[in-house]
Amino acid sequence: MSRYIGTKINRLTLVELIGKGGMGEVYRAVHDVLERDFAVKILKKEIHKDPSAVKRFEREARAASRLAHPNIVYLSDFGMLSSGELYIVMEYLKGFSLRQILRKHARLPVNRACTYLAQAAEALDFAHRMGVIHRDLKSENVMIVDQGGREVVKLLDFGLAKLLTSEVKRVSVTGEGEIFGTPEAMAPEQISGERITSKVDIYALGILAYELLVGHPPFTGSIVKVLLDHKRTVPKPPSFFRHDIPKGLERLVMKALEKDPDKRFDTAGEMAGICWQMAEPRNSGSFYADNPTVPASGDMQERIGSSEGKQVRSADSGEMAALQWREALWQLTDLLVQRGIRDRRISEILRLINEKEEELESVSLEYRSVLNEYHDFERGIRERESRIVHALISLTSVYNVRRLAFDEPEEIEDLEFQIATLRTSLDRVDSERISKENEYDSRILQLSLQLDDIDDQMEEGYQELDELVEYARREFSSSPILREMYAKVDRLRNVLQHAR
């Protein structure tokens, strides 16, 4: 049990450890009078040892407390424990981080990703106008909470990231093997130690958008490789991994990821406006449910809604229209069969569609499993690499001191041998990473193409089914319910054609 459990902070009592991160630990606390939960973050001990860090903490916490915005977690108090650790008190959120959601769903439907991104961009825009920069926006710092049945984005740790370093001058490994400013989301100017502006948050929002749409950040690999890629490498466009990305959304992502800050969006508000346009319809299911689905009913609800493939691959309003058109077409076919139509080709197509839906679900499950396996591998090898890098830094420091002090040659040689061994281990880890990444990239691309091929076959089947039921319109559309269903199919077909 953590030693902070039971600690009193004014009228708050810490009762439960609910999270750990690069900055410290987060606890659930109960207010003794209000009987209401709050979240208390206790920062790393290293911070309070530096007087300048304490001053920055107070300055940044005071600035963050002024950020009264529906998409920013409210910071209500801050201070220092009697034992010296710094703390901040925030509203207590019940929900999921985007990292948790991605762990479960691999990648998000386009409209849902855009809904989240739009809210995050609005929060950033507000903060930037208040003169506050986040500096460490990432999926772990974005919470999705349920407020009155509506999913609401909440950004955490606003402006507090720079407490981990005296100045944003260099990337260094800490005792826990982490580096300041999550390497996968660091803008090139952060890495170079240049002046920090709101454009670093816009770059990070581009990284977040890429991760939500593709399932992984644009750059992965060793810490050094990732940092160099941010500075030198143009990322593969999201459509390389996923073929239902609207071109306008891909342009937004790639513009946010420009190496030159001046080529990115001027404000996060611009990105919010574009994302809201892409997000329609805004409320198509929820990730609070075990099975997020599109609106459907009856057997089609079970067939489409439970399809993992549709959870992974449902896209914008055009994709929603396609799903609804398929549902209506299936229901119309059921009605025609009930009224005596016995077309062998229709039966064959229905059987084919059922088979493809089962295949789609199976491949989608495998796709998500491989992605999760890849993320687990990345996390494990990053931990190994960080431990080696930290040991290498420590030994090199000792070696330099001993060498300058003219210590015994045997001790110097022993240190040199240990350093060389660590460097060899680091090279071995990097080689393992490259080999595994190539293997995973190949499997993920193969499964993605397989998903597209299955979906194309299903689309062909539904198109042929649409043509076949048209032949029965004159003979079987006399009843009101059939006329209504034909009208619904016509309407959805028109919406779909317009969306395409």
Tokens 């397989």: give the residue: 450
136 catalytically annotated: yes
CA dist 475 and 490 (Å) reads 17
∠ CA 482-487-490 to the nearest 5 degrees?
Answer: 125
CA dist 236 and 218 (Å) reads 7
Residue in 136, 229, 316, 455 annotated catalytic: 136
CA dist 415 and 440 (Å) reads 37
List CB contacts of 152: < 8 A, sequence separation 6 or more.
70, 71, 119, 144, 145, 146
Q: Which H or E run includes 394?
A: helix 344-404
Provide the b/e sequence for 292-326 (b: ≥16 CB within 10 Å): bbbebeeebeebbbebbbbbbbbbbbbbbbbbbbb
Residue 307: half-sphere exposure toward Cβ, Cα within 13 Å? 25
Name beta bridge partners: 215.
none
Distance spanning both ends of the chain, measured CA to CA: 56
- Total residue length of the chain: 500
In this structure, are residues 48 and 80 in contact, taking their beta carbons and an 8 Å threshold? yes
CB atoms within 10 A of CB 104: 12
Q: Which H or E run includes 253?
A: helix 247-256
The answer to whether the peptide bond before residue 281 is cis (omega within 30 degrees of 0) is yes
Q: Which residues are catalytic?
A: 136
